[in-house]
Chains A and B, each alone.
Chain A
Amino acid sequence: MSRLFTWEGFLFACLVAIFTFNAIAAPDFLTISNQINLFQLSIEKITLALVMTFVIINAEIDLSVGSMMGLSACTFGYLYQMGVPAPLVILICLTIGVAGGLFNGWFIARLGLPSLVVTLATLIGFRGLARVMLEDRGIGSFPDWFTALGQKGLIGPVPFALIAFILLFLLLYILLERSGFGRKTYVIGSNRDVADFAGIDTARHKLIIFTMSGLAAAFAGLLYAARVGAVRGDVASGFELDVITIVLLGGVSIFGGKGSLIGTLLSILIVLNLRNGMALLSITGHIQTGVIGLLLIASVVIPRIKLPSLKPEAAA
Chain B
Amino acid sequence: MGLISRLSPAALRILALLAVLAIVILFFASQIEGYLNGRLFNRISSSVAIMALIATGQTLVILTRNIDLSVGSVVGFSAFATGSIITNNPELNPLLLLLYSALVGTAFGMVNGTLVAYARVPSIIVTLATMALFRSFLVEYSDAKSITTSGLPAWLTDFPNLPVFSIGAMEFRAGFTASLVVVIIVHLCLTQLRPARALFAVGSNPEAADMAGIDAKRVVFAAFALSGLMAGLAGFMFLARFGTITVVAGLGFELKSVASSVVGGVNIFGGSGSVIGAFLGAILVDLLETSLVRWAVVSEFWREAVLGALILLAVATDTVLSRRLARLRAKKGDSK
**Interface residue ranges, A against B (CB under 8 Å):** 61, 63, 107, 111-114, 116-118, 120-129, 131-132, 135, 233, 241, 244-245, 248, 254-255, 284, 286-287, 289-294, 296-297, 300-301, 304
Q: Would you call A116 and B119 a contact (CB within 8 A)?
A: no
Chain B residues at the A interface, C-beta cutoff of 8 Å: 67, 69, 115, 119-122, 124-126, 128-133, 135-140, 247, 255, 258-259, 262, 268-269, 299, 301-309, 311-312, 315-316, 319-320
A-B contact pairs, 14 of them (CB 8 A): A107-B312, A113-B316, A114-B268, A121-B315, A122-B312, A125-B307, A126-B308, A135-B301, A254-B125, A255-B122, A287-B140, A289-B136, A294-B133, A297-B133
Nearest-neighbour CB distance to chain A for B303, whole angstroms, equals: 7
How far, in angstroms, from A244 to B131 measured CA to CA in the complex? 13
A244-B128, A290-B137 known; A128+B308 contact, CB < 8 A: yes
Contact B135 A245 (CB under 8 A): no
Residues of B within 8 A of A112 (CB): 319
Across-interface contacts of B304 in A (CB, < 8 A):
124-125, 127-128, 131
B128 and A296 contacting across the interface, CB-CB below 8 Å: yes
Give A135 to B115 CA distance when docked, in angstroms.
41
Contact B307 A111 (CB under 8 A): no
Q: Is B299 touching A124 in the complex (CB atoms < 8 A)?
A: no
User: Which single member of B133, B258, B301 contacts A290 (CB below 8 Å)?
Assistant: B133
Smallest CB gap from B142: residue in A: A286
Interface of B is mostly: helix
Q: Could you say which of A129, A254, A284 contacts B139, with CB atoms under 8 Å apart?
A: A284
* Closest CB in chain A relative to B211 CB, distance in Å: 22
Q: How far is the CA of A296 from the CA of B119 in the complex (A)?
A: 14
Interface of A is mostly: helix
Q: Once the chains bind, are B121 and A297 in contact (CB under 8 Å)?
A: yes
Contact between B255 and A123 (Cβ–Cβ < 8 Å)? yes
- CB of A111 within 8 A of CB of B135, answer no
Given known pairs A132-B301, A254-B122, A286-B136, the reply for A124 and B129 (CB within 8 Å) is: no
Top-8 shortest CB links A-B: A125-B308, A290-B136, A128-B304, A128-B305, A293-B132, A293-B129, A121-B311, A124-B308
Write out the residue numbers on chain B whose beta carbons fall within 8 Å of the beta carbon of A300: 119, 121-122, 125
Q: Smallest CB–CB gap between A120 and chain B, Å?
A: 6
Complex Cα gap A124–B133 (Å): 24
Bound: A122/B136 CA distance, A? 28
- The answer to whether B316 and A245 touch across the interface, beta carbons within 8 angstroms, is no
Q: Are B305 and A245 in contact (CB under 8 A)?
A: no
Query: Is B302 in contact with A125, judged by CB distance below 8 angstroms?
Result: no
Q: Which residues of A contact B311 (CB under 8 A)?
A: 117, 120-121, 124-125
- Chain A nearest Cβ from B271, distance in angstroms: 13
Q: Report B-chain residues with C-beta under 8 Å of the C-beta of A125.
A: 304-305, 307-309, 311-312
A residues within 8 A CB of B132? 241, 245, 286, 289-290, 292-293
By a CB distance below 8 angstroms, the chain B residues around A284 are 139
User: Among the listed B121, B129, B303, B315, which residue makes an inter-chain contact with A294, where contact means beta carbons less than 8 Å apart?
Assistant: B129
The answer, among B121, B126, B138, B315, for a CB contact under 8 Å with A117, is B315
Q: Given A113, A132, A286, A301, which contacts B121 in the complex, CB threshold below 8 Å?
A: A301
- Additional 8 contacts, C-beta under 8 A, given A113-B315, A124-B255: A112-B319, A116-B268, A118-B312, A121-B308, A123-B255, A124-B304, A124-B305, A300-B125
